[in-house]
A = this chain, B = another copy of it.
Amino acid sequence: MWLRNCWYVIAWDHEIPAADSDALFSRIVLNEPVLVLRKADGGFVALEDRCCHRLAPLSKGRREGDCVRCGYHGLKFDGTGRCIEAPGIPVVPEKARVRSYPVVLKNRWLFVWMGDPARADERLLPDNFSCDHPEWTHKPGYLHYDTPYLLICDNLLDFSHLSYVHEATLGGSTAIAQAVPKIERIGGPGQQGVKVTRHVPDVPPPPYYRKMRPIDSHVDRWFIYEFQLPGTLLMDSGGRPVTDAADDMSRAIRLHSCQTLTPETESSTHYFFQQSHPARVGDASLTEGIYQSLIAAFNEDRDMITAQHRNMLLQPDAPMLPLAMDGALVQFRRLLEQRLAEERSPGESTLHTGVGDR
């Protein structure tokens, strides 16, 4: 099962239709269909996309101002999920309502809170600053996976796969897999997770660096990222020519990446991502080039994880063998299990959100 008392990204800002558009946006999150409306005042509404009457999707109805009317029998719901009109029924019963979800936009990511609304706390949002920052430029990405979300978390928690899955794209050297990363448990205000620091000295620049600038020497590469619950990667990475002085960053490649995973169903996942370059470097073609490299590489991941998942479906009880490289993902899975256990337990008051706990 999934953690519920946390923020999940449901969409990029630009995916939600304008307030004066007739289009309705809906996406399944944690097996629940969720309708998102952009309100006239610029805010957002997130409602269960399932009429309380006969369970038809509200997104097949129509928007009326900041309300939505079911297209089956005409029930009309306001932004809180309350049914405010039911054709032929003078007094709408109080229990005629659909669930509404706390929703907040931060740096172009639209987050919904799928758990207890009273616990929703914006301090728990991840710091996806480069998604909307004057010093950073990117093109936003989205991929849909037909695999469970945890398998993709695993992938992102062990970059040794760059040497093999991404040999011809993001990797370019087996030294990435050979390097032993530093793994730390993190727990800032609300942001619980794992921090992974991997330095890879003196390797050829990876194939996709060529799109950014000509580099005629080996580089020292670094990948420093946090992977936070429920599934967000925030990464500072780059490479510096080995021929440059240690404090000379003038020719270094520097990138910041924000990626996040949202379970759709037990066996499918939404993946939102971007990799930013400094805004003062390059132009639109560089941004597009980085995006295309990322799409190519993330399709390599999806191919591999989908094949892995097919193998798991074939024999669901086949055990995995933990190895040293699994340090971060083992820690992350343990942390997730612990939080899940807390959500399940009756004494939920002991839940540690990381905010105000210390």
Contacts and interface: CB of A to CB of B under 8 A. Distances in A.
A210 interface: no
Contacts of A178: 87-88
Contact of A28 (B49, B54, B308, B314): B314
Interface in A272-315: 303-304, 307-308, 310-312, 314-315
A19 interface: no
Interface centre among A74, A89, A312 (most CB of B within 10 A): A74
Query: How many identical chains are in the complex?
Result: 3
B314 A32 contact: yes
Contact of A160 (B28, B87, B164, B304): B87
A31 B315 contact: yes
A55 B311 contact: yes
Contacts of A70: 164
A49 B315 CA distance: 12
A321 B53 contact: yes
A160 B73 contact: yes
A214 B49 CA distance: 40
Interface in A164-178: 164-165, 174, 177-178
Looking at chain A's contact residues, is the secondary structure mostly helix, strand, loop, or mixed? loop
B60 A303 contact: yes
A311 B33 contact: yes
Name the residue among A31, A49, A308, A311 with the largest chain B CB count within 10 angstroms: A311
A52 interface: yes
Contacts of A53: 320-321, 323
A284 to B, nearest CB: 33
A38 interface: no
A318 B99 CA distance: 12
A180 interface: yes
A314 B264 CA distance: 11
A263 interface: no
B56 A87 contact: no
A52 B321 contact: yes
A308 B73 contact: no
A202 interface: no
A303 B72 CA distance: 10
Interface of A: 28, 31-33, 49-50, 52-57, 60-61, 69-74, 86-89, 93, 95-96, 154, 158, 160-161, 163-165, 174, 177-180, 265, 303-304, 307-308, 310-312, 314-315, 318, 320-321, 323-325
